[in-house]
């Protein structure tokens, strides 16, 4: 299966540098190396069907207003964090770009139904045999 080539235009993404949280010593306190990425789905140039599927997606990174918010702070470098945030956004868009396979409902065969009922009967007999022995 091939991946659809949907690219995110850089000027539609709002990127701001913030201070990272957690351990890291003075580097964390001084340098704004974490990236806070915001992407407005409705205002983007993505195709309509992808916009709809993104907004219907039950993802904690998407706000009620339809804005994707991604925070990247794993690297010490601002450029690496920016690249990672863009990559995560691209993966999110790619995940909804692939249409799910259309399911054709099928009926179980007569043989499979008979096998299922036979195994249920066998299991029931086995359980019945575990009961108390009466009449001794």
Is 2 part of a structural domain of the chain? no
Per-residue pLDDT of the chain (136 residues; tens, 9 = 90+): 445 578 888 888 898 888 888 766 676 677 788 899 999 988 888 889 888 988 888 889 888 988 999 999 888 888 999 999 999 999 999 988 888 889 999 999 999 999 999 999 999 999 988 987 777 6
Is 114 part of a structural domain of the chain? no
Range of the domain at 92: 10-97
Helices and strands (H, E) in the chain, number of each type: 4, 3
DSSP string, 64-99: TTSEEEEEE-SSSSHHHHHHHHHHHHHHHHHHHHSP
Model confidence, pTM: 0.67
Tell me how far apart the alpha carbons of residues 37 and 80 are, in angstroms, rounded to a whole number.
13
CATH of the domain at 21: 3.30.160.20
What pLDDT, on a 0 to 100 scale, did the predictor assign at position 4? 54
CA distances from 81 to 13, 33, 38, 76, 99 (A): 14, 7, 14, 8, 30
Domain total of the chain: 1
Strands 34-40, 13-18: pairing is antiparallel
């Amino acid at each position: 299966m091939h991946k659809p080539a949907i690219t995110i235009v850089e000027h539609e993404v709002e990127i701001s540098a913030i201070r990272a949280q957690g351990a890291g010593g003075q580097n964390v306190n001084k340098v704004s190396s974490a990236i806070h990425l915001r992407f407005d789905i409705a205002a983007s140039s993505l195709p309509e069907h992808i916009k709809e599927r993104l907004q219907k997606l039950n993802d904690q990174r998407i706000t009620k207003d339809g804005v994707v918010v991604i925070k990247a702070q794993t690297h010490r470098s601002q450029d690496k964090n920016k690249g990672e945030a863009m990559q995560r956004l691209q993966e999110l868009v790619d995940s909804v770009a692939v249409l799910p396979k259309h399911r054709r409902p099928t009926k179980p065969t007569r043989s499979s139904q008979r096998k299922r009922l036979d195994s249920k009967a066998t299991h029931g007999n086995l359980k019945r045999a575990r009961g108390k022995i009466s009449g001794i």
